[in-house]
Amino acid sequence: MIKGIPYETAWQNYQDHSSDQWRSDDRSKDSLLQQFHPDYQSETITTLQVGANQGDACQRQLAQLLQSNALIDEVDLAGASIVDTDVLIIGGGGAGCAAALVAAEHDARVILTTKLRLGDCNTVMAEGGLQASVGVDDTPQQHFEDTLRAGYFKADRKLVAQMVMDGPDVVRWLIQLGMQFDQESEDPFASLSLKRAGGTSAPRILSYHDYTGLEMMRVLREAVTYRTGIDVWRGKPVIELLSNEFGHCAGAAVYDLSLRKLVLIRAHAVILATGGIGRMHLNAFPTSNHFGATGDGLILAYRLGAKLREIDSFQYHPTGVAHPRHLAGSLVSEAARSAGATLLNGLGERFVDELQPRDVVAASIIRECAEGRGVNWDGQVGVWLDTPRLEQQKPGTLQRFGSLRHLAHKCGHNPAEKPFLVYPTLHYQNGGVVIDRNGGTTVPGLFCAGEVTGGIHGRNRLMG
């Protein structure tokens, strides 16, 4: 039976109560996560039986994919046309486009192949912003410590150090490409606007309204499209990675969806930038991910012998839309909570610090619903994200969030008058392919970038 306080009662409670009213809970963070976070439920985890990670814990659905049979055999390669290049990039999102641009800057011949269109990716779904320690009250050391702490100190320290040190230069590079960021004022020379986010010790979030990823992908896609030396293959998924007689990655077998035939690409280096696995709806959760996020890169790398890590750990974004049902999984950006929006249960009570790390906030929402304090609206259970009181306390705030207002319109309400009903949604894979500081994997010739990689986040990821 679905638990929860009926919508009419919960709506009355919301109107009658102040968001300052807290419901206390004496459970420790560890106890909260163990009891309510999906990663810690025994029925969702199994042990890998074959491959480089034999004996390791793995999410059950992912394990089935990693241990599945190949889609093609050697006989299928007979007669396939062959194309040569210096660098083959698999994936047309933010990481793939950035890798293509950097490779082209070094005069490499690049083929970027994607199973969908260039820019169909999770990058465009990212709303809240990105992190880089560019503020006067912030340092790469603080960013480093925040990242390690959020990931329960399971991340690779060398990778985290590389990320936080490179962050400011990457922001500068994006601005040079033409990316816009929010500024403190309309003066074109004004400082970049920095915001707080869950788990951070200083304002560090750089954003462009609440569609930062879309703005980033706009400039990256344009740069790739007009850059000489980059050949973009659309609608051509990679079926299998190829190795040479030394066991090095030497290219890939690509299926041309329009011509319905295999093409072999031989390359000196192969870069996987295939993103995550959210569209597999792990543990039956809705997802914020785009339709191409089906874990291809993890499977391709594992079949070639690459080592993976933290493949039993996934991030559930706290505030996915819970009602209406057909929009389940659509994100209400963390920018709203960063601006001051609170979470309320069906009794009208706050129950968590909204700027705690995402796993804690998500587990707290699941707890409220599991224990009957959620809001039951037409069979969909969640908690309120209190955007009306945010607008009352900070007039004009919601005007900055175009994606939020557009989402509210699709939900059929005015966010300044009515709160969103939200519930955690599958958002990000915390683990992935083991890499070194150059993106190299345990298989020579194979490199990885973006969400397909493991080691940067540990067992939980900060936003951005």
Q: How many CB atoms lie within 10 A of CB 176?
A: 9
Question: What are 429's strand-pairing partners?
Answer: 314
Q: Classify residue 331 by its DSSP letter.
A: B
Phi, psi of 264 (to 5 degrees): -100, 130
Q: Which residues contact 193 (CB under 8 A, 6 or more apart)?
A: 181, 182, 183, 184, 206, 207
In angstroms, rounded to a whole number, what is the distance separating the alpha carbons of residues 108 and 96? Answer: 15
Closest among 460, 217, 463, 451 to 334, alpha carbons compared:
463
Q: Which of 221, 358, 367, 389 is an active site residue?
A: 358
Contact 122, 195 (CB under 8 A): no
Residues with Cβ within 8 Å of 28's Cβ and at least 6 positions away in sequence, in order, are none
Nearest residue to 231 via CA among 81, 104, 415: 104
- Give the CA distances from residue 452 to residues 122, 301, 309, 443, 455, in Å, rounded to whole numbers and listed in that order: 12, 10, 11, 15, 10
What sign for the dihedral angle of Cα 61, 65, 84, 453? positive
Pick from 273, 381, 317: which is nearest to 6 by CA?
381
Burial group, residue 412, by CB count within 10 angstroms (0-12, 13-18, 19+)? exposed
Please say whether the beta carbons of 315 and 424 come within 8 A: no
Q: Which of 55, 59, 24 is nearest to 41 (CA)?
A: 59
437 in active site = no
Structure tokens at 391: 């607008």
Decide: 131 and 205 in contact? Cβ < 8 Å.
yes
Whether the CB-CB separation of 316 and 362 falls below 8 Å is answered with yes
Which residue reads 């493991």 in tokens? 454
Residues with a known catalytic role: 358
